[in-house]
Amino acid sequence: MTDAELTVLLRSALPPMDESAPVGDLWPRLLTRAARPSAGSRADLGVAAGLVAGLLGVLATRPDWILLLVYHL
Amino acid sequence: MRDEPEDALLGRFAQGDQEAFEALFRQYQGEVFRWVVRIVRDRGLAEDATVDAFWRAYRARARFDPSRSFGAWIRRIATNAALTHLEAQRRHGGGVALDGREPVPAVEPGRRREIQAAFAALSPRLRVVATLALVEQQSYAEIADALDVPVGTVKSRVFRAIRSLRQELACRGIHG
């Protein structure tokens, strides 16, 4: 099968898309999107929560490290 | 839309002016949607990717150079947003959407499904160039600009997409 034949085959099963506009105005959806916390900030919060939990876990098993931590803060 | 020169509007956008952003959104949303829908081949997904693209553009506004074309810049962002949505669709087991400009010509349904499955087997990165170059027949230069890669990279990806498609089709007993 040549490249041209493959292209014809592909276009026969996947015709080019309709170029019409979106059904409605997308601006309200953008405002909704903007009001949502980003995936990045959720991930950051998750990492921060994990670090705090880990730190608390370590301090629970080694209370003597609290003084060391306070010294460094 | 406000009646003001484009460069003034772009300058205000880059400084974070929300009115300028809304004006640009309304001016370009149709164009961006029409580009994205060609890539993702699904109107609902294209609307999501269009909204996502503008949101990304707004967050990246400080990096936009107002002396450059907003259309070209948002198209690059939209192409990346479309790619992200295709990757998510693939992770969730979605296939190739079938929305087309015209009814599918006389192709036997079983054969059509096999071709679509072979196409869906491409990685999203190869699918984007295959869709734009082979189905939508966009120029390599236009695709390169939208992906922000050299034309040679587009040619290489089209070559790899064709090779993969040919192999997939052969596995499914389609040889032309």
ipTM of the predicted structure?
0.76
Whether B108 and B170 share a structural domain = yes
Q: Which residue among B22, B100, B175 places its CB closest to the CB of A16?
A: B100
CA of A24: which chain B residue's CA is closest?
A: B47
Whether B25 and B50 share a structural domain = yes
| Domain assignment of residue A10, yes or no | no
Of B99, B114, B146, which residue is a domain's last? B99
- Tell whether the model's pLDDT for residue A19 goes beyond 80: no
| Domain assignment of residue A3, yes or no | no
Q: Give the residue-averaged pLDDT of B84-101.
A: 73
Domain limits at B172?
A: 102-176
Whether B52 and B81 share a structural domain = yes
Q: What pLDDT, on the 0 to 100 scale, is given for residue A20?
A: 76
B99 CB neighbours in chain A (<8 A) are: 17-18
> Tokens in use for B93?
């087991």
The whole-angstrom separation of Cα B60 and Cα B85 is 19
Of B44, B79, B99, which residue is a domain's last? B99
pTM: 0.78
How many domains does chain B contain in total? 2
3-state secondary structure B54-106: HHHHHHCHHHCCCCCCHHHHHHHHHHHHHHHHHHHHHHCCCCCCCCCCCCCCC
Measured in angstroms, the CA of B1 and the nearest CA of chain A are apart by 13
Whether B32 and B84 share a structural domain = yes
Q: Give the residue-averaged pLDDT of B135-150.
A: 95
Q: What pLDDT, on the 0 to 100 scale, is given for residue A56?
A: 79
Whether B111 and B168 share a structural domain = yes
- Domain at B108, CATH number: 1.10.10.10
The whole-angstrom separation of Cα B21 and Cα B24 is 5
Whether B94 and B106 share a structural domain = no
